[in-house]
Amino acid sequence: MNSIDKSFVDKYKKNGFCHGIEIFSENETNNIRSEIEDLELKFKNGVSGQKLEQYFRVNGHIVIPLLANLSKSPKILDHVELLLGSNILVWSVELFIKEPGSSKIVSWHQDLTYWGMGETDGEVTAWIALSNVTIEAGCMRFIPGSHNKNILKHEDTFHKDNLLSRGQEIKGIREQDAVFAPLRPGEMSLHHGKCLHASGINNTNDRRIGVAIRYVKPDVKGTDNSHDFAMLVRGLDDKGGWYNFAGPRGLFNKKDLVIYNYVLNYQSKVLMAGANTNEGMYKTIK
């Protein structure tokens, strides 16, 4: 493990989040952003009958090598290892993009609510900024210490401007308790799956781009002892609680697209359980 400042660990354990961790240089960040925007141009008409946004927002690491490789970045994993231990899997990789002047938001929520993992401490989200994610650009804000509470009641909205899978939201959050977590390009935040967080609209002239990587320990299990899918990125999965896949063969490889659809259909049953509709990014593919 590379030499890193371990002071973030205490902040994470106390508050449920930490931010401002430098991961990528300016040049590296610009290159990653350019690759993403090149994909947007190349696949502006979609892939395999789906909009490119579908793959950017849900499990892109199964079919897009860039996203899989980002999740394997040694500096990210070195930080995650200090929180989860030496055996690490990736459950999902998502891009959150808010265009300039966009009305898109993320409402107050706890990540673990619909994931079928229960209230585990064995998951952490790494969120890496690929643009200047200021307060004006709609950075995340957190309620410190909320990871020590149980999962609260969420209400589904499926609102068109809400970037969450169900537009889920928690009512009655005291905004005055929130702490903003702006990130410069290439910086990372880490947050616990029960930590209350949200983000606002983008009031700037640049795109607000971030990649969220959900890491789990091998001993995290489904609440009904079911097996979900994950990609081993460090160490050993010695628990047998996950169906492991190796990552993409290439960009939108046909065999990987079959895996993608299989995983999506499986996960949609969990993430949409109890919803009155099956819309959005986790709509079943036939």
170-228 tens-digit pLDDT: 888 899 999 999 999 999 999 999 999 999 999 999 999 999 999 999 999 887 778 89
Is residue 141, in this structure, part of any structural domain at all? Answer: yes
Is residue 272, in this structure, part of any structural domain at all? Answer: yes
Is residue 247, in this structure, part of any structural domain at all? Answer: yes
Is residue 51, in this structure, part of any structural domain at all? Answer: yes
Is residue 285, in this structure, part of any structural domain at all? Answer: no
Q: Where residue 133 sits, what CATH number does that domain have?
A: 2.60.120.620
Local structure of residue 49 (DSSP, 8 states):
T
Is residue 284, in this structure, part of any structural domain at all? Answer: no
Average confidence (pLDDT) per 10 residues, the chain, 286 residues: 86 98 98 98 97 96 98 98 98 96 88 88 98 97 95 76 74 92 98 94 96 97 85 96 96 98 89 58 49
Is residue 60, in this structure, part of any structural domain at all? Answer: yes
Can you tell me the distance from the alpha carbon of 258 to that of 264, in angstroms, rounded to the nearest whole number?
10
The total of structural domains in the chain comes to: 1
Handedness of CA 68, 71, 72, 73 (dihedral sign): positive
Per DSSP, the three-state class of 157 is coil
* Residue matched to tokens 């880490």: 190
* Enclosing domain of residue 251: 7-277
Burial (CB count <10 Å: 0-12, 13-18, 19+), residue 279: middle
pTM of this prediction?
0.92
The pLDDT value recorded for residue 68 is 98
Is residue 282, in this structure, part of any structural domain at all? Answer: no
